[in-house]
Chain A
Amino acid sequence: MTSAAAWRAAIVCAVLAIGGTGGAARAAPDGAAIALHGAGGTPACATCHGAQGQGNPAIGAPRLAGDGATYLRWQLNDFASGHRVNPIMQPIARSLSPAERAAVAAFFAGLPALTPRPAKPGANPLGARLAARGRWALGLPGCTQCHGPGGIGVGASFPHLAGLTAPYIAAQLNAFRQHQRPAGPLGLMGRVAGKLSPADIAAVSAYFAAAGGSADGGSAR
């Protein structure tokens, strides 16, 4: 996609979202239908995140496929409440009922996850070290100690990092630092992000962006 087209898509998303109507009182929500076709005034998630939930790096829309249902539902709820600040996602999440958010989360959780391709540590030693080992002198665990080997994500609550874009990862770490995003369960990510310097954030973001894998569905959870 060209960047002009990408921006158009993003604007369409936003406009559609703002025009969205309240999503209350819909019975037995169909997560796949909402994700692929939208619901009422709510735009289809696929518009930006792709029909396979593969994301669209050109417009900063992260991959959702294969992330835990619990994690994804938390994010939609946090967007809706405004605790996770995002002008595009907030109106979309608000237009969905809690049951619809859960259904959409379950739909994307059921799509195939990425099979990670380990990044070459030699290219980014600081990022590789922080990813694998952290910095325990400051009580900082390695990213992969919770996000799994290569950052593929673990279970219902720990999202994948591999293959997300560096700007997206860096933005999230900064959002944790600046309380623009809830600190996560047990406050873990607030603690982690608070121990990272700007140079650390740049390094780990680049590391996991380079750890992108193939979406062959081999490790669907």
Chain B
Amino acid sequence: MNDTSRGRARWRAPTPARAGPRARAIAATLALALGCSLPMAAARAADGFQPPPESAMPGGQFGRVVRQGEEIFRHTGRAAPRYVGNALRCSNCHIDGGRLAGAAPLWAAWVAFPAYRGKTRTVNTFAERLQGCFRYSMNGKAPPLGSKVLVALEAYSAWLATNAPTRAHLAGRGYPRLPKPAAAPDDARGAAVFRQHCALCHGADGAGQQAGGRVVFPPLWGPHSFNWGAGMGSVATAAAFVKANMPLGAGGSLTDQQAWDVAQFVDSQERPQDPRFTGSVQETRAKYHDSPYSMYGRSVNGHVLGSPPGH
């Protein structure tokens, strides 16, 4: 069970003489996908590194921990409640359980660490990078290095990266960088994009939607979303994510300008404080948000983002 044969081989249409019913079904599905209006996902999945299929997940003690890691990744609040302070899960931004190219896949991140990061101004390990996810994106607490939660996530990531070259920049890493927009991103235009393309799932107030006690559509701002220190708080990162992956199942359907505008709108909303807050919004901005892509500390509609209501 060491199927690391890459998606290209797995998805190649079988020869008719050898095709069984299942193979024919797959081929038919593939043909439909290629003929549909959204070939991007299929195209990007067919190129480059492919993580092993779930059917190849190992057994034994290592496999057990890999499965724990996947469970934490897909159901973060339930599986690692001590470290999660909001309604999000890892797989909200790392689609398909961290498998999907162009949606910040775990396999590409795994082989890129240790690495120097501008955010921390130091060389971080992969586990330290995961700690950052919990602290900012999950608005929670960093699980200790060596803790079961981090070890499980590391094991899952390493397994997804089976046979990937190390210290390589794999195609599909992060979110596909979006060219600068023709017009500067505008939150008023973004609000219209949001109403038309996003509110159906995330709600007009960005608070997401639940059903049966589970969060189905994640909150994009407000007290239950990522905090001001999260990577998604960068308009450039959010725009790239949105363009490639939103609406879910219809990635690539917005124009670049729409993606920039709606990202500007979402990142101009209030959200939990940056845990690195120094006591002064402007000082915190100068120290950690000195970027044209961060709205932290900027005034939008009379409110300085990052400050308490009324400021």
Binding site for B on A (CB under 8 A): 116, 133-141, 145-146, 148-150, 152-155, 157, 185-188, 191-192, 194-200, 219, 221
Contacts and interface: CB of A to CB of B under 8 A. Distances in A.
A31 B103 CA distance: 45
A198 B200 CA distance: 29
Given A136-B96, A145-B216, A219-B212, A195 B29 contact: yes
A199 B217 contact: no
A121 B138 CA distance: 30
Interface of B: 7, 11, 21-22, 25-26, 28-30, 32-33, 36-38, 40-42, 45-46, 95-97, 99-100, 197, 200-201, 203, 209-214, 216-217, 247-251, 253
B32 A137 contact: no
Contacts of B25: 197-200
Contact of A186 (B28, B38, B211, B250): B250
Nearest to B97: A133
Contacts of A141: 248-249
Contacts of A194: 32-33, 36
B30 A138 contact: yes
Contact of A116 (B7, B40, B212): B212
A146 B248 contact: yes
A152 B21 CA distance: 32
A199 B216 contact: no
Contacts of B41: 136-139
A149 B96 contact: no
B96 to A, nearest CB: 4
Given A136-B45, A150-B212, A199-B22, 16 more contacts: A134-B249, A135-B29, A136-B41, A139-B33, A139-B41, A148-B211, A148-B212, A154-B210, A157-B200, A191-B249, A197-B32, A198-B25, A199-B21, A200-B25, A219-B212, A221-B211
Contacts of A134: 96, 249
Contact of A145 (B30, B100, B200, B248): B248
A192 B21 CA distance: 22
Contact of A136 (B30, B99, B210): B99
Given A138-B41, A145-B248, A188-B247, A195 B212 contact: no
A65 B248 CA distance: 27
Most chain A CB neighbours (cut-off 10 Å) among B30, B201, B211: B211
A155 B209 contact: yes
A119 to B, nearest CB: 15
Nearest to B41: A139
Contact of A149 (B7, B45, B203, B214): B214
A152 B197 CA distance: 23
Contacts of B216: 145-146, 148-149, 154
Contact of B217 (A149, A154, A186): A154
A191 B41 CA distance: 12
Contacts of A186: 197, 200, 247, 250, 253
A50 B250 CA distance: 36
A185 B200 contact: yes
A69 to B, nearest CB: 14
Contact of B249 (A139, A154, A199, A221): A139
B172 to A, nearest CB: 12
Given A133-B96, A191-B37, A197-B29, A155 B211 contact: yes
Contacts of B212: 116, 148-150, 152, 219
Most chain A CB neighbours (cut-off 10 Å) among B22, B100, B200: B200
